[in-house]
Chains A and B, each alone.
Chain A
Amino acid sequence: MKVDALFSPILDLKAPLRPEDSPETISAWDSISHIQLILAIEDVIDGELTTDEVVSVTSVSKIIEICRARGVELTVE
């Protein structure tokens, strides 16, 4: 699955996401969209994120890492 497909219903993306993107580089990634992202990730992995995982959701690369550990491969453009 493309990481953009996960993000685009939540964030208004101007360009394809890069692994280094984070709340600092994407202005629409605010506290509300962050929670929506957590829920979207839980949908994709079909399970609940642990507290440690939730806390580590700080960038696109971290999200890819968390999903990979749960057996879901996310790709960037």
Chain B
Amino acid sequence: MFGVFYHGAFGQLAQEVRDTGSGLLRHQPDVVVLAPLTGVVGRPGDFSRPVEHIVDEAWSHVTALRERFNGLLLLQNMSTQEGRPFGILDARRELGRADFVRSVNLHLSRRCRETGLAYILDVQFLAGLAGAVWPGLHKQHLMAGRPLADVIVSQLAPDIAAFCAALKGFARKCLVVDLDNTLWGGVVGEEGVAGVNIGGTYPGNLYTALQTEIKMLHERGVTLAIVSKNNEADAWEVFDQRSEMVLNRADFSAHRINWRDKGINLRDVASELQIDLDALVLLDDNPVERALIEELLPQVEVCPASDPLEMLRWLTTCRRFDTLAITTEDALRAKSHAASVLRRETVSNVDDLEGYLTGLGTEVQVGALTTAQIARVAQLTQKTNQFNLTTRRLTEKEVQDLMSAPDWRVFWCRCRDRFADEGLIGAAIVKIEDASWRLHTFLMSCRVLGRGIEKAFLHAICQHAVAQGAGVMIGEFIRTAKNSQTETFFESCGFTVQQRTPDHCLSQLSLPSMAELKPRWIAMNSVETITASMSTP
């Protein structure tokens, strides 16, 4: 990930966000970090102003910029500083300095939450994490007017990078863990189920804490997998017999517990879960195994720690899994992987593919975007890499703007079968240019691929376009390192290529003569309500 940076002119924040010709806006940024509250502390009289005034003033910059900017907006909140006019009685005052800063920050967080206009860059929290000895009384502040100490910047920067990574689709999706000396202390094959260290006091509590952290990641949508050199039966005995285990077998969507090469096992897990290697993070106490994976599979992010406390610290602050929204689908994902295992097992006795697909009982629902789906649709544009024809990353604000734009349409697609409700797994954005509809975005979550759902989705959009008087659907393909499987998608749907270069292709489909794209084994669910929701402006 590389950035092209623009630093606003010193002390010119108000002008930069309001003047259309400003350096900031001419730079056409994807991400803007606003820090209207640095340097506020210590200005005479600031602490005697009502909290609301400070909040309103800071917020005015956010709303001003929002009129001219659709990208990702990060608002740096207020940093705690050393000065306490009443010393240790600070908290006995009606609103002491420290509480004043907290109050300002609570108000800002609430505004961000309620309006969705910006995300908080929490400098107050990060300064603590940085262990900044002198957050305000450092030399650069006084000598150079640079209000943030280097140690704080070194914690702020990874948060900014994590926001950018989440926006651009670099967030990791799956945590792969080793077992011995990682999920528990000791080696189960040597010490036995009763001998491994988990729960209780130190050091068993370290493994409990690490598992609790992993469980939290899982609950917010991170897929878990096990890759471990062990006898499989021994390993599961720990899960089944040790009540102190926080994680249970069902939390893991894939596992390779055997004596094979770790690199092969990791590849296997990625392909079973239908994700790329660069969506994996590996937690393994063995430095030799870690070095091997770093050498063989550099796409995999490897936690550099062997010590359980260091692993816990790294995992807690690594930010590798952070996304811009947590949606219902994130919670469904774990169930979805479990269902796909069941799906394979249950239907494996069916010989022909169509029989298999029919047996799944897939139902697809397509609709026009309403406010309820904005977060998920934006998240899909940010996270989907493989089945994504144009890979255009959008913020929630951009999606929201498209929803109300007269010549744009945003569609979503949900699916479920007899094994799982996959939730909202597809999105399409169309630009209407008279009688031709151009697919600006067309994508589908990779875990539902191979069942023709993408064709059913496209067909529903085409049918709707016909009903709206469109004559032509235009498909666009923009090559990335990861979406080669979509290269011929439009052609496979009957589109004719108009223009092709190695990295870009435009094709079109004449709608009146369109053939049925929806596979026989898919039921389009409640089409009437969809059509009704589609025709609302």
Is A13 located at the chain interface by the 8 A CB criterion?
A: no
The interface centre, meaning the residue of A32, A39, A48 with most chain B CB atoms within 10 A of its CB, is A39
Is B250 located at the chain interface by the 8 A CB criterion?
A: no
* Number of B interface residues in the complex (CB < 8 A): 5
Contact flags A32-60 to B (C-beta < 8 A → 1, else 0):
10010011000000001100001000000
In the bound complex, CA of A32 to CA of B140 (Å): 11
Is B249 located at the chain interface by the 8 A CB criterion?
A: no
Is B139 located at the chain interface by the 8 A CB criterion?
A: yes
Residues of the A chain whose Cβ atoms lie less than 8 Å from the Cβ of B143: 35, 38, 54
Q: Determine the main DSSP class of A at the interface with B.
A: helix
For chains A and B in complex, what number of residue pairs have CB atoms within 8 angstroms?
13
* Number of A interface residues in the complex (CB < 8 A): 8
In the bound complex, CA of A49 to CA of B140 (Å): 12
Give the distance to chain A from B134, nearest Cβ to Cβ, in Å: 10
Chain B residue at minimum C-beta to C-beta distance from A36: B144
Chain A residue at minimum C-beta to C-beta distance from B146: A35
Contact flags B111-150 to A (C-beta < 8 A → 1, else 0):
0000000000000000000000000000110011010000
In the bound complex, CA of A31 to CA of B140 (Å): 12
Residues of the B chain whose Cβ atoms lie less than 8 Å from the Cβ of A31: 144
Residues of the B chain whose Cβ atoms lie less than 8 Å from the Cβ of A54: 139, 143
Residues of the B chain whose Cβ atoms lie less than 8 Å from the Cβ of A38: 139, 143
Give the distance to chain A from B144, nearest Cβ to Cβ, in Å: 5
Chain A residue at minimum C-beta to C-beta distance from B143: A35
Give the distance to chain B from A57, nearest Cβ to Cβ, in Å: 11
Residues of the A chain whose Cβ atoms lie less than 8 Å from the Cβ of B144: 31-32, 35
Contact flags B480-513 to A (C-beta < 8 A → 1, else 0):
0000000000000000000000000000000000
Give the distance to chain A from B143, nearest Cβ to Cβ, in Å: 6
Contact flags A47-77 to B (C-beta < 8 A → 1, else 0):
0110000100000000000000000000000
Residues of the A chain whose Cβ atoms lie less than 8 Å from the Cβ of B146: 35
Residues of the B chain whose Cβ atoms lie less than 8 Å from the Cβ of A35: 140, 143-144, 146
In the bound complex, CA of A38 to CA of B146 (Å): 14
In the bound complex, CA of A54 to CA of B144 (Å): 12
In the bound complex, CA of A54 to CA of B143 (Å): 9
Given contact pairs A32-B144, A35-B140, A48-B139, enumerate 10 new A-B contacts (beta carbons under 8 Å): A31-B144, A35-B143, A35-B144, A35-B146, A38-B139, A38-B143, A39-B140, A49-B139, A54-B139, A54-B143
List 11 A-B residue pairs with CB atoms under 8 Å apart, sorted by A's residue number. Answer: A31-B144, A32-B144, A35-B140, A35-B143, A35-B144, A35-B146, A38-B139, A39-B140, A49-B139, A54-B139, A54-B143
